Structure 1
């Protein structure tokens, strides 16, 4: 029964300048298992074209090439891939071994593409290399062996998946006479084992070793003769049929890694160049977070973490007010300005808390105690005097649990009829002012009043400030026929872990936090914007990195065109080739990301080692999400850059690729 049958096979090429050229003019022949057939012809006779069609490397032909009852022209891409993996073995004139793979990996490559496990494929490849006399060289690279040895490796590779048909294209063309006889003897043994061997040659000496000779001239079969040669055909072993698998992602990554290892210097430089962009982005984010945390921690030192400061309304404008102010609405601008002034001076009725407000705040979960407070900002209306020295007070505020012990740098918290002063005001009044009585002049409504109080300590602030007890200030208001209404409320919780939830609830109820919180949020937002802008500017270098990777992988496609042709001849799918190149891009991205993160860590440590002793602050705060994001960004950019070359590689024509020098 015929293994392979050709029926009126024709092949026409379209010429670049127009017109056509008929390379094959109706070839018909039938081949059985165990035949050793030479196809002889001069250069340009069409013999290589015929072999490409039989090998399934070119499906654009007329007529029929029937294998297992089906015309190769009608095979789907998946069927052609299986045909290359299981049914056909190629032996090339120029060996076409992959230089960065060991002999063992070269031979087992077809099984790698079929996703055979490593142990099985290595054993099979080692056995074949031993059969061709190269067992002791299996871990060498192709450049370390002779031409005859390379051809023996190619023979072992062709046999790895036990195919039905072996196609040998000028297998002795690059060998000397002695080596030619050795290789021909090996090919003869393959045919005697029951396989069909089709050998393309222009040498009558090579053809004389074959059982049958087909001569082709100008695309036509001019003779088909059987030769009487010594041939000991053996019964073919029964093949175990097993489903053909496809190459796994793991094997694709492994092949990519082996290629990158072979060109380590170039790939290391590309990874280093890309890592600079990653380092710049991550470092900018780390500096931004470090400065933000420093501002927040500085603000927190002046407040009690267990206390939530509540105001009736915020200095921030709502959305409608912002739109009108931006549009230049003078009445809105004036109204907002007046509201801000009255709120800061403590005269705004909108900013005072009613009992209903107090009761609402008391109901917030985990609030243990609630404390009323009052603050006002003034210019020239509130003063404090000692002997002949007088100082203006800009900020008057009542004592609360938000004033921490650490914020009282000298003395103690005020008791009845006692106050805290800031350091600058205390120095202006006189030395050793703590424990001394001073005259406090306030304007309540339109009425100026004076009260003698004792200085209990110094409050750490940069603004001229006096801190009094709420009860004392309330009494002053009562004595002057006024009613003190709290414009600040302090919510205390025993567990500081509850503070954030309390602050969120306060905002949800329509109240606002302290001015410090508002200012901190504003600074944080500004720093975030600046940080992301700087990171985006640094990120421009990532575009350069992507272009660099694109260029390098395109060069790699050109360098490895023949390798791609070999992979496709062995049954690699487009998807497999694409995976190999995308995997290389992935490895470059991973390498550059890890390198960028390491460099950033080193720079961050160096910067912090300078700023920590000098300013007691770690300027660079490299949070884990920044480092992870840097690696992910590097991988994504590299893989996106690698898609175009990978797609280009996958679309290369195997016939043209194998011709590439």
Structure 2
């Protein structure tokens, strides 16, 4: 049985509607190894169609094509891939070398697709190039070679996987007379190794060097002339270490993508720079939000004990059903129950805000919160225009009054915490009184404060000056010890229940968990915590909005990457055809283009992170010089997020061009100029 058998082979091309053009008509042909066959005919006779079918580039036909006993009509994509890798090699008239690859890389391309290790493929390619007289040219690019050298590189690429069949399409069509003879000598030598060599040609000179000439006209074989035999030399151009074909690896695809990107370096740098702008913008916005949050947290922590959580009763809600009806009041308990106004204690006068007192049930519930080591009772009220420190006949207003339970001494500027008969005042009040805060220490003043609706006055000595810092919710304040407060209320026959509780945690790391549990039970935290939470939420919204606006540039960069990769597909159409002809799978081609988009995304992300880092460093230097604080905090998580986001967006943008490249018809791709 012949190595290649064609039986009743027909090929139809659809023209329009139900009409078809028949390019091949009942072709019957048998070909064996060791033959050098020329297929000749006029343009349009069907010889190129026959070549494409024999080469497995076109799989749509009727009849039979049998290669080494295997019927091509039963081939699946995997079978065609293996056929191109193991059985057949192509030599094209226009060489079809990949311009951005070196001679060595062009020759090893087929082995790269077959996942042959680097050492083996380089050794084998150098061996073939040496036998073809190109051993000293392997580092050059195709543009640096003559026509004859290019064709010899194409022949080396066809031979390197040691195929059984070589198909040469007009192998001397682009060569001068002298170079033509050299190439034909090489082709004859290839046939002498026992391979089946098929040349498609118009040239009588080429046909004369063949052992067999098959003439085709109007899709039919009209002539088959044998012109002699070739003496076989088994060792000539023998390829050592022929390996079982595998598939292109991800890292090999990355390398091919890098080589192509290097060829278009300036364009790819601009693409990466464009993509990096969006990544940089988002990271800077996130860093700004994180930095401001950190600043708020640090400021708050500097003014409170990190072990202490402040707890207040739920807010009292007032309702007014009609203009003439009495105002009614409903108090929301932690459990959500409503207490009628009649059973609630009378509230303070207008301008005074104070929390409701805690009951025993509330205290027990708070004591049972996990990680609470201690429960301290305290009192606090907030007034507007009614409370004053009186010194030498002058009144100095303050808004916040309370006991020192739960406070930290980290912000005491001068003096110490108050004992019985002493008070602690904030720096602003002290400055108004004495010109400087330190001079206010030890002075006796009268405190006029409204407690439970009653205005109380008593003389106290200033023991310390407290800095409220720049924390949210910081007001001019006066504090006294719990013992002093009990004495004050007892002297005025008042029974005032504690309206603030300070829960002390067993570890600073558990403080936030305690605060979360307090909120879950329906109680309130400190006003500073509430304001900080509100401000943080607003800041988060602001950050997300700005990040979203910055993210528009990511969408633009994705469109840019998609467009550039589509252009790349058009530019490399012929290269894609070559890859398919030498055994590249659709998956391999997709992988190469997706690898390019991955690398673009990776470079964009790294560049964006680098620019963002530079902006945060410079920005913090400027802000620290102006405000003595840093507000840009770029975390490693933001950097990773930026790079990953850039890679994902780029790869998604590259999927459509990659799919288009993988779906190209190899015959049409090879014809592309």
TM-score, normalised with respect to structure 1 = 0.92
Note if 1:35 corresponds to 2:41: no
What's the CA shift for 1:363?
4.4
Aligned residue number for residue 248 of structure 1: 249
RMSD: 2.7
CA distance in structure 1 between the aligned counterparts of 2:241 and 2:456, rounded to whole angstroms: 109
Aligned residue number for residue 517 of structure 1: 529
Deviations 1:15-51 (A, max 9, x none): 2587332211221110111111111112111111100
Structure 2 residue corresponding to 1:448, chosen from 455, 473, 478: 455
Note if 1:274 corresponds to 2:278: no
CA distance in structure 2 between the aligned counterparts of 1:50 and 1:334, rounded to whole angstroms: 96
Aligned residue number for residue 387 of structure 1: 392
Deviations 1:560-597 (A, max 9, x none): 00000000001111111111111000000001110111
Change in Cα spacing, 1:145 to 1:314, as seen in structure 2 (3 Å) is farther
Aligned residue number for residue 194 of structure 1: 194
Change in Cα spacing, 1:341 to 1:533, as seen in structure 2 (3 Å) is farther
Change in Cα spacing, 1:336 to 1:287, as seen in structure 2 (3 Å) is farther
Deviations 1:514-559 (A, max 9, x none): 1111111111111011001000001101111011111110110000
Note if 1:378 corresponds to 2:378: no
Aligned residue number for residue 560 of structure 2: 548
Change in Cα spacing, 1:222 to 1:416, as seen in structure 2 (3 Å) is same
Aligned residue number for residue 408 of structure 1: 412
SS of the residue 1:15 aligns to? strand
How many pairs were matched up?
A: 647
- 1:647-658 → structure 2 map (5 Å cutoff): 647-658=659-670
Change in Cα spacing, 1:106 to 1:239, as seen in structure 2 (3 Å) is closer
Deviations 1:245-286 (A, max 9, x none): 111111111111110011101111111111111111111111
Deviations 1:173-221 (A, max 9, x none): 1111111111111111111111111111111111111111101112111
CA distance in structure 1 between the aligned counterparts of 2:452 and 2:671, rounded to whole angstroms: 99
Aligned residue number for residue 47 of structure 1: 47
CA distance in structure 1 between the aligned counterparts of 2:466 and 2:270, rounded to whole angstroms: 58
Change in Cα spacing, 1:73 to 1:333, as seen in structure 2 (3 Å) is farther
Deviations 1:571-628 (A, max 9, x none): 1111111111110000000011101111111111111111112212112110111111
Change in Cα spacing, 1:361 to 1:91, as seen in structure 2 (3 Å) is same
**Contact 1:346/1:487 (8 A) holds in 2:** no
**Contact 2:201/2:207 (8 A) holds in 1:** yes
CA distance in structure 2 between the aligned counterparts of 1:445 and 1:557, rounded to whole angstroms: 81
SS of the residue 1:352 aligns to? coil
SS of the residue 1:45 aligns to? coil
Change in Cα spacing, 1:346 to 1:475, as seen in structure 2 (3 Å) is farther
Deviations 1:303-323 (A, max 9, x none): 1212222223369x9xxx9xx
SS of the residue 1:8 aligns to? strand
- 1:132-147 → structure 2 map (5 Å cutoff): 132-147=132-147
**Contact 1:91/1:171 (8 A) holds in 2:** yes
CA distance in structure 1 between the aligned counterparts of 2:494 and 2:144, rounded to whole angstroms: 102
Note if 1:619 corresponds to 2:631: yes
Note if 1:492 corresponds to 2:504: yes
Aligned residue number for residue 435 of structure 1: 442
Note if 1:601 corresponds to 2:613: yes
Instruction: Tell which deviates more after alignment, 504-513 or 173-182.
Output: 504-513
Change in Cα spacing, 1:546 to 1:446, as seen in structure 2 (3 Å) is closer
SS of the residue 2:63 aligns to? strand
**Contact 2:576/2:661 (8 A) holds in 1:** yes
Deviations 1:382-437 (A, max 9, x none): 333122112333221111242x3232223221111111222333344455432122
Instruction: Tell which deviates more after alignment, 17-26 or 35-44.
Output: 17-26
What's the CA shift for 1:359?
4.1
Note if 1:459 corresponds to 2:463: no
What's the CA shift for 1:365?
4.6
SS of the residue 1:96 aligns to? coil
TM-score, normalised with respect to structure 2 = 0.91
**Contact 1:10/1:61 (8 A) holds in 2:** yes
CA distance in structure 2 between the aligned counterparts of 1:449 and 1:620, rounded to whole angstroms: 48
Change in Cα spacing, 1:551 to 1:449, as seen in structure 2 (3 Å) is closer
Aligned residue number for residue 264 of structure 1: 265
CA distance in structure 1 between the aligned counterparts of 2:240 and 2:433, rounded to whole angstroms: 107
SS of the residue 2:617 aligns to? helix
What's the CA shift for 1:366?
4.4
CA distance in structure 2 between the aligned counterparts of 1:564 and 1:111, rounded to whole angstroms: 16
Aligned residue number for residue 182 of structure 2: 182
Aligned residue number for residue 302 of structure 2: 301
CA distance in structure 2 between the aligned counterparts of 1:442 and 1:228, rounded to whole angstroms: 124
Instruction: Tell which deviates more after alignment, 380-389 or 196-205.
Output: 380-389
Note if 1:559 corresponds to 2:571: yes
CA distance in structure 2 between the aligned counterparts of 1:216 and 1:210, rounded to whole angstroms: 16
CA distance in structure 2 between the aligned counterparts of 1:148 and 1:273, rounded to whole angstroms: 43
Instruction: Tell which deviates more after alignment, 570-579 or 65-74.
Output: 65-74
Instruction: Tell which deviates more after alignment, 82-91 or 331-340.
Output: 331-340
Instruction: Tell which deviates more after alignment, 473-482 or 254-263.
Output: 473-482
Note if 1:531 corresponds to 2:531: no
**Contact 1:37/1:213 (8 A) holds in 2:** yes
Change in Cα spacing, 1:336 to 1:58, as seen in structure 2 (3 Å) is farther
Which ranges of structure 2 fall in alignment gaps of 5 or more residues? 333-340, 469-473
Change in Cα spacing, 1:541 to 1:446, as seen in structure 2 (3 Å) is closer
Aligned residue number for residue 312 of structure 1: 313
Which ranges of structure 1 fall in alignment gaps of 5 or more residues? none
Aligned residue number for residue 154 of structure 1: 154
- 1:57-96 → structure 2 map (5 Å cutoff): 57-96=57-96
Aligned residue number for residue 21 of structure 2: 21
Deviations 1:108-146 (A, max 9, x none): 111111111111111111111111010111111111111
Instruction: Tell which deviates more after alignment, 503-512 or 579-588.
Output: 503-512
What's the CA shift for 1:480?
2.5
What's the CA shift for 1:481?
2.5
What's the CA shift for 1:228?
2.9
Change in Cα spacing, 1:360 to 1:197, as seen in structure 2 (3 Å) is same
CA distance in structure 1 between the aligned counterparts of 2:481 and 2:555, rounded to whole angstroms: 61
What's the CA shift for 1:293?
1.3
CA distance in structure 2 between the aligned counterparts of 1:137 and 1:579, rounded to whole angstroms: 30
CA distance in structure 2 between the aligned counterparts of 1:45 and 1:563, rounded to whole angstroms: 27
Change in Cα spacing, 1:582 to 1:418, as seen in structure 2 (3 Å) is same
CA distance in structure 2 between the aligned counterparts of 1:531 and 1:333, rounded to whole angstroms: 42
What's the CA shift for 1:508?
4.3
- 1:192-231 → structure 2 map (5 Å cutoff): 192-228=192-228, 231=230
CA distance in structure 2 between the aligned counterparts of 1:511 and 1:595, rounded to whole angstroms: 48
CA distance in structure 2 between the aligned counterparts of 1:299 and 1:238, rounded to whole angstroms: 77
Aligned residue number for residue 289 of structure 1: 290
**Contact 1:310/1:488 (8 A) holds in 2:** yes
